[in-house]
Amino acid sequence: MIKPWHIPNNFDSYLLIKICQCQKYRDEFIAGKFFMNTFGEIRKKENLRKGQFDENDGSELFLQTTNNTYWRLELINNEYWSVNHAGRPINNNYLVEASIGGGQNLEKKLFCMYTLWGDSHDKKFLPIDPKVIDEFGEYAAVVINTPVFLNRIQEKLDSLVNQMNDKPRYDFVEYVKHDKNSPAIPLGIFRKFQEEYIHQNEFRISLDMKNIIGPFKDFSINCSDICIPVKTEELIRMNKILISQLIFGHL
């Protein structure tokens, strides 16, 4: 894993936190039950809070018209294609601005957490944006031993390898600028636009399961001995590291 570009150099360690809408979901996480939704469900706005919904999530490429180029939907050999042209369009008929390549990811399973970055020298945390309460919830569980948690995640993934189409991955989300001068912006499962989501400091686990349609509910590990329940508001107010209680991950 590589530290995201927007995290200051002096913040050299991290904790993982699960933030939930209700105490029940938080307690299920502490009990080790991971509910892994699909990208298809995540992209349904009516099912999610503001800040969780992202219509581009899981798309491989975002296409847009710029000052110098544009995309048009054109019929070629009885098939419609998105075609890139130089210059400005004469009219707006059939112009394309869309995310593409997401179909292959719609059934991939996803589990999301918040990354709390720490400065081990000055013993402080990177501040948490209060918006995460409205976006994710007021209940949180802090993983107090990051290396053990990641080892248990990896052991679980290894046990599921025969049930997967592709190698699983866990990593930090990279936030990219919505560059208005770029006709095509690469995205993917671990890239999101920074303007809307950079404050979320997201950590993700992604699985491509065989023959499992819809959410994956059988991912479970022992978390009860390495998690503590808190209110999200308490985390926002906290700015000092309690070294004796927390074991950070380091990159």
Residues 153 and 214 in one domain: yes
- Does a structural domain hold residue 7? no
Residues 94 and 113 in one domain: no
- Ranking 22-26, 219-223, 247-251 by mean pLDDT, the lowest is 247-251
- Residue 107 pLDDT > 70, yes or no? yes
The span from the CA of 105 to the CA of 102, in Å, is 5
- Does a structural domain hold residue 136? yes
Residues 81 and 173 in one domain: no
The total number of structural domains in the chain stands at 2
Compute how many other C-beta atoms are within 10 angstroms of the C-beta atom of residue 62: 22
Residues 87 and 138 in one domain: no
- Ranking 56-60, 70-74, 100-104 by mean pLDDT, the lowest is 70-74
- Does a structural domain hold residue 160? yes
The residue out of 100, 126, 161 marking a domain boundary is: 100
Query: Mean pLDDT in the chain?
Result: 82
The span from the CA of 136 to the CA of 139, in Å, is 9
- Does a structural domain hold residue 4? no
- Residue 198 pLDDT > 60, yes or no? yes
Place of tokens 């590589």: 2
Q: Which of 177, 176, 180, 178 is nearest to 190 (CA)?
A: 176
Pairing mode of beta strands 191-193, 174-176: parallel
The span from the CA of 136 to the CA of 21, in Å, is 6
The mean per-residue pLDDT over the stretch 174-182 comes to: 81
Percentage with pLDDT > 90 across the chain: 47
Res 196: pLDDT: 85
- Ranking 140-149, 180-189, 195-204, 206-215 by mean pLDDT, the lowest is 180-189
Residues 114 and 90 in one domain: no
- Ranking 62-71, 143-152, 184-193 by mean pLDDT, the lowest is 62-71
Cβ 203 vs Cβ 115: under 8 Å: yes
The span from the CA of 184 to the CA of 60, in Å, is 10
Residues 167 and 213 in one domain: yes
Beta-carbon contacts of residue 67 (< 8 Å; ≥ 6 apart): 88, 181
Collapsing DSSP to helix, strand or coil, 203 comes out as strand
Residues 230 and 211 in one domain: yes
The residue out of 100, 130, 165 marking a domain boundary is: 100
- Tell me the residue ranges of DSSP E strands in 29-183: 33-38, 61-63, 69-76, 79-86, 98-100, 109-119, 124-125, 139-143, 169-172, 174-176
6 pLDDT tier (thresholds 50, 70, 90): very high
Residues 198 and 83 in one domain: no
The pTM assigned to this predicted structure is: 0.82
Q: Which of 20, 44, 56, 98 is nearest to 215 (CA)?
A: 44
Res 220: pLDDT: 92
Res 76: pLDDT: 61
Residue 202 token pair: 């997201």
Residues 17 and 122 in one domain: yes
Residues 89 and 169 in one domain: no
Q: Can you give the residue range of the structural domain that contains 217? A: 13-56+106-178+190-250
- Residue 139 pLDDT > 90, yes or no? yes
- Does a structural domain hold residue 207? yes
- Does a structural domain hold residue 2? no
Residues 85 and 126 in one domain: no
- Residue 11 pLDDT > 90, yes or no? yes
Cβ 189 vs Cβ 204: under 8 Å: yes
Collapsing DSSP to helix, strand or coil, 190 comes out as coil
Residues 135 and 216 in one domain: yes
Tens digits of residue pLDDT in 67-81: 667 656 555 666 555
- Ranking 45-59, 155-169, 188-202, 229-243 by mean pLDDT, the lowest is 45-59
The mean per-residue pLDDT over the stretch 79-108 comes to: 63
Percentage with pLDDT > 70 across the chain: 75
